[in-house]
Amino acid sequence: MFDMQEELFSKIEYAVDFIYPSDLYDEDNNPDMYEDEHWDELANYLHADDVAWGASKVVFWFSHIKDYVIKVPLMGYYEDDVEDHIKFRNAKFDSNSKYADWDYCGAEAEIYNLIAEKYPELAKFFAATYFIGINRHNVPIYAAKRVTKKYDWDIENESKISSTSYTKARKIVETFGRCGGLDENIISLFYEQYDETEVDAFLDFIMTYHIDDLHSGNIGVNEDGKIVIMDYSGFDS
């Protein structure tokens, strides 16, 4: 493990050790897990400042960790003999992956690792996700560079998009469709904020590796005010 990862894990170990597998999957297929109350309660219990969740991950904010959020995969993994249960699968990005096939945080960390190793010039387009450890109940824990949601920020910024950026984005969508789900407004924001050749390489990466599900809720803004992708594990049910 890198020093940073060990240090981060040691900072939250006391909290995340209280996350049990049963918090992350729903044996009875009971919709509680997809209710805010469930997560608010857990966040409270862990003394987390805030919590957010999506289809396959839950994210915690801790006040003493300013630069990162803690990401935990939901374990949509159920016994086959129980009907109606959703079984997450295909999370594995690489077939030799060390992560479980329900672990969408693992897929994200794996994709980031590939970027860092083979496409370092594209790293700036992604909020970095790292595996940081396994808690005492065998739950894998990840950290991701903290970003903010795009929503509050975009009205002002979208009005500043130049027609050059917009034209480039339109051309991309006309030629390739919505790359990974990115629409022309978001693509034009990328062109507005980064070099054209870099954005082209980034979109090429998204398409080559079939990164999907890039709806606007999965786009964030980093500390430099630039838009980045914060959820790039895709989702394949």
Ligand X SMILES: Nc1ncnc2c1ncn2[C@@H]1O[C@H](COP(=O)(O)OP(=O)(O)OP(=O)(O)O)[C@@H](O)[C@H]1O
Where along the sequence are the contacts to Mg ion (CB under 5 A)? 54, 218, 231
- Applying the rule CB under 6 A, the residues between 70 and 129 that interact with ligand X are 104, 127
Residue with Cβ nearer ligand X (165 or 218) = 218
Select the binding partner of residue 38 from ligand X, Mg ion, none (C-beta < 5 to 8 A, by kind): none
Instruction: Tell me which residue has its CB nearest to ligand X.
Output: 54
Which letter does DSSP use for residue 124 in this model? G
181 binds ligand X (CB under 6 A): no
24: phi then psi, degrees, rounded to nearest 5: -110, -5
Residue with Cβ nearer ligand X (196 or 223) = 223
Beta bridge mates, 183: none
**Cα 231 → chain centroid:** 3
The least distance separating ligand X from the CB of residue 169, rounded to whole angstroms, comes to 22
Stretch binding ligand X (CB under 6 A), from 47-55, 76-84, 158-166, 185-193: 47-55
Stretch binding ligand X (CB under 6 A), from 115-123, 170-178, 191-199, 215-223: 215-223
Cα 184 to Cα 95, 192, 225: the distances in Å are: 32, 12, 19
The least distance separating Mg ion from the CB of residue 63, rounded to whole angstroms, comes to 23
Q: Residues 36-67, buried b or exposed e (16+ Cβ, 10 A)?
A: eebbeebbeebebeebbbeebbbbbbbeebee
What count of other Cβ atoms lies within 10 Å of the Cβ of residue 1? 12
The least distance separating Mg ion from the CB of residue 218, rounded to whole angstroms, comes to 4
Hey, is 35 helix, strand or coil? coil
The least distance separating ligand X from the CB of residue 130, rounded to whole angstroms, comes to 11
Beta bridge mates, 71: 59, 142
54 binds ligand X (CB under 6 A): yes
Return d(Cα 48, Cα 178) in angstroms, integer.
36
Q: Using CB under 6 A, list all residues that contact ligand X.
A: 52-57, 59, 69, 104, 127, 144-147, 149, 213, 217-218, 220, 230-231, 233, 235
